[in-house]
A = this chain, B = another copy of it.
Amino acid sequence: MKTWQKLSSKKGRQASGSYLLDGWHLVEEAIQHHGHLHALIGTSEQLKLHATELPTGVPVFEITPEIAKKLSDLVTPQGIFAEVSLPKANRAPQFIHEGAWLFLDGIQDPGNVGTMVRTADAAGFAGVVFGQGSVDPYSPKATRAMQGSQFHIELASGDLLTWTAAFKENGINVYGTELNPAAVDLFTVNPEPAFALIMGNEGQGMQPALSAAASQNLYIPLVGEAESLNVAVAAGIAMFALTQG
């Protein structure tokens, strides 16, 4: 129990190489997409309810509703969890030649990170790369917002200047995003099937070195008096505009 509780912190997740999924929808995604399951953990009620859907060969632990409340950050948890492996080391960017990629530069809010992974999946992106300074994507709040999309697309981490240089070396355009109307209106861009889109920190935007390294910087034209967009909304608008628009 203590061990599972530790998975609520990044330190605990890195020590065990695993993270916790909270609720049947996420557990089911892990099962269906062959996530590497260490343990299934549930109240007797939840384990009975899903008895026929649980995979064989994975240790099952029954917990009380009180312990379920301790494991969850929700006020009323469903009472079913899975402990799954963190992904292994990711591909090096120089081996990537296709697909649309989202680069996250210093995104701080776990809900925003999770929502962006979910949206990247829905937009048909190949993967999401977490730069140094972005929040850990395996917290309960982030994985809840992901809705299982981490099992559908590739999640990687690394230095975004290195990733940007490698993509450009491979002939793949890397688009930064800024609030600056001196940048290019993203609704006028028709990218190739392979490209990367960078979203920057909620308050500060992209780090200047990354902005300078981008093939081109784009902006979303704002019409009203709002000064900016929520970063997850901006990412959604940009990802769909660049792939469907």
Contact = CB atoms under 8 A, between A and B. Distances in A.
Contact of A119 (B149, B227, B229): B229
Nearest to A126: B224
A228 interface: yes
A125 B149 CA distance: 31
A107 to B, nearest CB: 14
B125 A224 contact: yes
A56 B152 CA distance: 57
A78 to B, nearest CB: 15
Contact of A233 (B119, B125, B149, B153): B119
Given A124-B224, A152-B224, A225-B149, A118 B230 contact: yes
A224 B123 contact: yes
Contact of A237 (B147, B228, B236): B236
Contacts of A243: 223
Given A223-B124, A225-B152, A237-B237, A119 B245 contact: no
A240 interface: yes
Nearest to A236: B233
Interface residues of A, number: 37
A142 interface: no
A113 interface: no
Interface string A96-132: 0000000000000000000100111111110000000
Interface string A208-245: 00000000000011111111111011111100110111
Contact of A232 (B120, B233, B240, B244): B233
A143 to B, nearest CB: 14
Contacts of A125: 224
A145 interface: yes
11 contacts: A119-B226, A122-B223, A123-B222, A149-B224, A152-B225, A152-B226, A153-B224, A221-B244, A230-B232, A237-B237, A245-B245
